[in-house]
Structure 1
Amino acid sequence: MSHSALTPVFVGLRVGLHVLIAGLLVLVLVRLPALPPPAAAAGLALVVVFAAVYVSSAFVRRVPEGWRRLAATVWVTVLALVWVGLVILVPEAAYLAFPLFFLLLHLLPRWLGPVAVVVTTAIAILALGLHQGFSVGAVIGPLIGAGVAILLGLGYRALAQEAAEREALLAELLSTRDRLAETEREQGALAERARLAREIHDTVAQGLSSIQLLLHAAERADPDRPGIEHVRLARDTAADSLAETRAFIRELTPPALDAGLGEALRRLGEAQSTPGGLRVEVETPPSLDLPMDLQTALLRIAQGAIANVRKHARADRATLTVRKDGDSTVLVVADDGVGFDPGAVAAGPGGADSFGLRAIAERVAQLDGTLDVDSAPGRGTRLTVTVPARADGGVA
């Protein structure tokens, strides 16, 4: 479905072209009785053929994409040949050259369209001259029509290109909106899982651990007292419940972060390093006391950045650094690869090379952070992500 605001313009132009051709064919039919019977019959046949070929354009539009350009070229060539035969018989058929100009410019390759318009103009001038005698009007009229057609054809092509760019931009915006919504759902789920893990750890798990310690103390204080077997049973039950609770906490925590963000990043560096190829070095503080949703987001950003380095940078060495900077957390990914022009990527059509960087930027923006990309062709890339944190430990 087209979302372009220019769609009504294109529809109006197509309808106008159809009406113009239909009106000119009616004019040719009206002029046929004035011709000798053999010529009138041949002209009528050519009008029918011209109309049939023109209507068959509906089938050309259904041709598979890879063959559509060839089919359109064949179609407009056949239409032009039928017109040549018609204009030889009926001089008024020369006026069909004007709508034919637009079809030639639109359907033929860029360099062939104007050439075809020039040839068509020459045929129209020659036909009018042979039928009605050469005059200034018979020559100037088709020339002016051809010039106007070329200008309008260029304008139509520019409008079509703008419409295609708008359509691509809108599709990218819709895709970005869907990715943002999915990221928001993912972040919400991760934040809720992390909150539940913290709550269970700080309440249920701590309570069960305290109960187990108290029961241990009671058992050691008087191991021969009556009912001690119930104390042991309660202690075992508390131990089992504590083990299950810790299992729930591990399930709620992302597996890659079960040993913390620093260890997850080190594992990422080891997994992405290859003998004789890319070497990923990781530098992190001994401990990173960050909320689980922030750890998850930074891990995903690091994974995306290292994936971009492997795919596009052709680097020998990459460094992945995490540090605290006041109330903010800073993630830096640098490489010694071929680099790129960040401005060109930002202004590009959104191909596969820029998708990873856009995904990182979207994730950073959702965290209210900042992304700085320092790169240039031939001198590597340095990507710096700064994410603030609230006083309560959540992501800003």
Structure 2
Amino acid sequence: MRHPDDHPQPPPSSPGSPGPPGPPASGAFAPGDQTRDDRLLSALLTTAFVVLLAGALLRYVLKHGDSDRLPWIVGLSVVLAVVQVAGQARPGSRRAGRVRLAVVVACWVVVVLLAPSFAWCAVPLIHTALRLLPTRSAVVLVTALATLVVLAELRLADGFDPNHLLLPPVVAALATGVFVYLTREATRRQHLIDDLVRTRRELAATERREGTLAERQRLSREIHDSLAQSLSSQNMLLQAADRQWDTDPQAARTHLRTAASIAAHGLTEARRLVHDLAPADLAEGAGLAQALATLAARESRDGLTVRFHAEGPDTHLPDQAASALLRTAQGALANIREHSGARTAALTLTCLDDTVALDVADDGRGFPAPEPGGTRDPLGDPDPLRGHGLPAIRARLRQLGGALAVESTPGEGAVLTATIPLTPATPPAP
């Protein structure tokens, strides 16, 4: 087969990665690592060699039975047969196979010099040499074998015959050309297989990385819209209780009770987040409208009044759509309370045949116009370490094919509109 310098070998697979078996690393046939087809081909070559050897020996015995060379020819024929059959029975290493080939070729040369009729035993030897040796070495050996066959045929011929001069080189060239072509085709095919396996492995790794990143983003949004907002509200209530502890103990106790209630709800959210369940308000069996009404009642405190209104039929929304809209309302109300200075806010749920929309409006300060070239998030927290704001809401809606629109005028409040289509991508629950 090919020498490693003749053509580049396919890159090795990474450790621990399963892949199709490739050709031997040296580019030559490895006797000790045969496949089923390799063993069948070895058996065929050995059988062909033994049959040709037996035929040549029988011809010599019939025509030259009284020759003084007969014992030598019989002995060498037996040695050739034994070595060839032993190599088939116990392939051994590549080096052992080459040693056997050298012994067989040497004995065959001596036999051909004694009896030219043994010349055509070289055909199986040509194939064996091509399988065991690098391409350059195999071509040199095949050329020598073909030359010796030509000389033997010319010795046997009564006169000059062009076939005796042309047939052995043509047979040797055809055998070598076909073998080298098939070997290179197998190598190219192996290159392609290795490329496909490597590409599949890289694609799987990319999908795992993207999946991990998407899950991290999802968890960050869930934490921002549930636990982070809950902790922020508790912090504000506890600070208010601390300021009023001496001057208005009753109001301070009210703030503490409200903070405790928020903490209990946050604990429920945390447990459901660990188990990857729906928001607590939805998990209690309520629909989105009831969950939004509960959220509005819970957020109506400390000078902020939140109203809820539903329009359209009372449609049972898909769990993902209901969860996304509830999280949107939670995040928007938390930002209204912390940043807008609003006195009132309104949640409006509109259910149509093919779309569900949620409007969150407030009468607060509104969003200041961004500076030229700036990319300020109108719902974002001023502290970049504390929140996701508008990008998190928009990303959650985009996953469901939805959209987010924000309208605001400084000093006149803001309106946030989240829409999700009820399409096959987010089919209604049966």
Give the number of the structure with larger relative contact order, counting CA–CA contacts within 8 Å between residues 6 or more apart.
Answer: 2
Task: Provide the TM-score with structure 2 as the length reference.
Answer: 0.46
Q: Which is helix-richer, 1 or 2?
A: 1
Please identify the structure whose Cα radius of gyration is greater: 2
